Structure formats: structure tokens, C-alpha cells
Structure 1
């Protein structure tokens, strides 16, 4: 049997069993992470929520002991034929699949060709982190406008959280300054007080002061409206007939109206101003009142004498 080849180079049955068990065995933390990743990070990754998604995924991977696959700390073994490499590949492939399931359809093409979880994580960080950092500019330009104070502060906090999640740091005093710059003119007195204050305050105290100031301004506005209403009611009570007077139709008198000149028949005349008696011919009385009206023998001598 000299033609029989030696078998010492073939792997032993125990080695084959070990490699097979390593390949087929998935750690329990990895099973939990892959099975519940969509519940742990319910909102798929988009260009707008990278910061929150980044924090959620990193937290869950860290809690289950696989953050090194994302950050690159856990590298693939150099010997691709070893059991250690097979175990690493098993874990990393499952983690990459988990990442795929948390990414929206618009972002998935960025990482679809990635060969490891670390490569996919790095691509997403490189593409989407600059978008998150642009929120610093948004924070500087943000205005309260018609929002309630609580809504405005919640919006500012979401921007600040996104900035922090992207790796940037922002000083609390800068946050307060940006908030003050976004307040409407009704808060000018409050802004001056905060800026001139010598005692430092933290963000929580600053938020509480802002909410109290909003309540104070609302109360002042209601008092002003009530005062105006009382003034109007008092004025109406003092002049009860003013409305009726205002509703009465009045025909305005024409300005600069010239009266027509009197007719010649109505103009006074020295000859017609006094009546002339038909009997005696004298001026100043009529025939009915004439002294000679019953004297048939009377004959006027001079009608021009009064």
C-alpha cells in the first residue's frame, strides 16, 4: 500500500468540529440586537435625523458589546482561514445587515457595497455629518416668531442635541445668546436684564426664567385689553345718545352758497313802498281808511301832498 497518500496535512475531526461550531453559533447578544434593532431605532436614517440615529445605534451596539465593529477597533483577523476570522465575519455580517435595516431607501445606496459594518458606518459619517453641523448656522438664525416659549425652547434643544450628537460642542452661554437673539421685541427688557446680570445662570434656570417672563407678558397684555374695554364702556355710558345722533341723517349745508339776487318786483322802491289812497291821492293809507271816503263832494286838490 505504498501508493497511499499521507493524511497528516488534513484537518483533524476535532478541528472541523470546532470550526463548524464557531461558524454556526451566533452569540445571544448579537441575536437580541439583530432581532430588535428596528424597535431600538424606530426611525430610519434620513438626511435630517443622522445625529439622533447615530446616537441611538452607537448606544445599542455599545450596550451589547459590538461598538468596536462600528468604530473599527475590532479588526478582522489576518488569517482568513482561521476560526477567529470566521467568528468575526459571522458577527460583522449580522451587524452590517442590522445597519441596512435601519437606513431609508434614499440612503441605502450609499452603503450597499460596503463589505463591513465599519466601512458602512464611516461612509454614513462622512456623507451626513457635515449636514448635521450646518445646524449651528440654523441655531444662530432661528427666531421665535409666533411660537409659544415651550415650543421655541424645545426646537432649540433639538438643534443643540443634534449638534452635540454630531461631535461638535457648543458653550451654554452661546446657546443662551442665540436664544435671546431670537426673541421678539416684547422681551427686550428681559434680554437687557440677562445680558447685564453679573451672576452666571445655567440653562435650566434660564429656561425657567423665560417661561415665567412669557406668563408675565401675557398677564400684562390681558390687563391692557381689559383697561381699554373699560374705557370704551365708560365713554359709551357717558354719551348714551351719541349713537342716535351719529345715525341721524344730516344734510350738510353747502359752503359758500350765494343767494339769488332779488327780483325787481321784490326790491324796495320809494314810490311803491307806501300805499297811495285812491280817493285823496295821498300816500300812507288806502281808500278804505281814507277820511274822505264818505264825502262824495270831496275833490282832491293836490295828490302830491301827503
Structure 2
């Protein structure tokens, strides 16, 4: 009888050990979660959704968990309890990592969601249209910018800020377009300079244009 009790105890202990082993967070995921604030140091806001999304997807995909975000891997059925528990453990830790990179203003959109895919798609649906609107607004600012009472360094710095914000919002501006916007915003006194740049046979680099403008 004592031997049977001992054997039963060993089986119970073995089952508990196996169950606990299955529920250990995988090392790659544990490392990613521990370092997520260093890998993605800027919290998600309305303005930086595209670059935030790119960074998160890159890091999770590189470690083998990108499909939890995109929904390509789904929760196993109840009949596969062990796999289901493991999937749930991984997914909830991914959710925690995502939430830690989201600013307080955005957090209410997703705080009650339970899966990483739900968080990912909800943010996409809410922020992607806003992001596109911001790109349009920024490009319109760039199109209309004028030197006015700014100094040349201030003018160029303002253009750079707008271009950088467009990049953060997930779009881009071609170098030749930036040159065109810079020249268009200069007053008539710069017309000889603008003509020289526009009629040049070789495209000018932005750094060279900046230097020439400051000298001018």
C-alpha cells in the first residue's frame, strides 16, 4: 500500500513538473520582454505609429513571435490543453510587452484586449487613418513653407524637422523634392541663386545646398 502511495505521489509530482515546465516563458521571449523599453525607447503616440509598428514587428519577428501580432498563429483548441496553455502564456506576455510601449493617451484603446493580435489590429484600425492624415498635413506644410523672417539656418532647420516628422509617420520625401521646396520658399532676392541650382546639370546634394545657402 505504501509503495502504491509512493508511486502515485511520484506520478503526481511528475505531472506537476511537466506542466510547470511547459509554462516556462521561452528564453528568447523573456529576453525580448526584459529589453523591450531599450529596443523601442519611444512610446507609441498618434504621430509615430508607423515607426513604432515597424520596430515592434521587426523585433518580435526576429525572435519568432511576429505571427502572434499578425494573427498567423492562433490559439490551439481546448482539446490540446498543453499547447493552448503554452500559447496563452506566450501571447499574454507579448500583450504585456506591447502595453509597456504605448503612451497613456493611446492605452485606453487596447487596455481591455486579451490577445496580441487584437491589440495589434485595433491600433492599426485606429491610428493608421490618423497617420495618413498627418502625413498629408506635414507634406502640405512643406509645400507652403517660406523663409519670411527666419534666418537661413532657422529655415533649413524647420524644413528638416518637417521632413523628419514625415519619415517618423511612415512616409518619405525625395531629395529632389526637398530641394524644390527649399528653393520655392526663398524670396525674389534669391532668384539668381535659384536659377543657378535649377539649371545645374548635376543634381545637388542637400548638404551642399545647405552650405551654399548659408554662404549666400
* TM-score for both structures, normalised by structure 2: 0.75
Q: Which residue does the alignment assign to 2:66?
A: 67
Q: Which residue does the alignment assign to 2:168?
A: 162
CA contact (8 A) 1:52 1:162 kept: yes
Q: Distance in 1 between matches of 2:118 and 2:189?
A: 51
Q: How has the CA–CA distance of structure 1 residues 170 and 28 changed in structure 2, closer, same or farther, with 3 Å as cutoff?
A: same
Q: Which residue does the alignment assign to 2:4?
A: none
- Number of residue pairs the alignment of both structures matches: 199
Q: Which residue does the alignment assign to 1:276?
A: none
Q: Which residue does the alignment assign to 1:304?
A: none
Deviation at 1:120, TM superposition (A): 0.6
By relative contact order (CA 8 Å, sep 6+), the higher-ranking structure is 2
Q: How has the CA–CA distance of structure 1 residues 60 and 179 changed in structure 2, closer, same or farther, with 3 Å as cutoff?
A: farther
Q: Which residue does the alignment assign to 1:189?
A: 192
Q: Distance in 1 between matches of 2:189 and 2:28?
A: 55
Cα distance per residue 1:103-142 (max 9 Å; x no partner): 1211111001212111111111111122222223322323
CA contact (8 A) 1:140 1:178 kept: no
Deviation at 1:92, TM superposition (A): 0.8
Deviation at 1:169, TM superposition (A): 6.1
- Three-state SS of the structure 2 residue aligned to 1:73 is coil
- Three-state SS of the structure 2 residue aligned to 1:136 is helix
Q: Which structure: larger Rg? A: 1
CA contact (8 A) 2:110 2:122 kept: yes
Deviation at 1:62, TM superposition (A): 2.7
Q: Which residue does the alignment assign to 1:140?
A: 140
Q: Which residue does the alignment assign to 2:5?
A: none
CA contact (8 A) 2:163 2:173 kept: no
Q: How has the CA–CA distance of structure 1 residues 191 and 82 changed in structure 2, closer, same or farther, with 3 Å as cutoff?
A: farther
Q: Which residue does the alignment assign to 1:111?
A: 110
Q: How has the CA–CA distance of structure 1 residues 80 and 173 changed in structure 2, closer, same or farther, with 3 Å as cutoff?
A: farther
Deviation at 1:192, TM superposition (A): 3.4
Q: Distance in 1 between matches of 2:124 and 2:188?
A: 40
* TM-score for both structures, normalised by structure 1: 0.56
Q: Give yes or no for the alignment of 1:20 onto 2:26.
A: no
Q: Distance in 1 between matches of 2:186 and 2:78?
A: 62
Q: CA RMSD in A?
A: 2.9
Q: Which residue does the alignment assign to 1:294?
A: none
Matches within 5 A, 1:228-267: none
Gaps in structure 1 of 5+ consecutive residues: 1-10, 218-306
CA contact (8 A) 1:141 1:182 kept: no
Query: Higher helix fraction: Structure 1 or Structure 2?
Result: 2
Q: Distance in 2 between matches of 1:206 and 1:69?
A: 43
Q: Which residue does the alignment assign to 1:248?
A: none
Q: Which residue does the alignment assign to 1:127?
A: 126
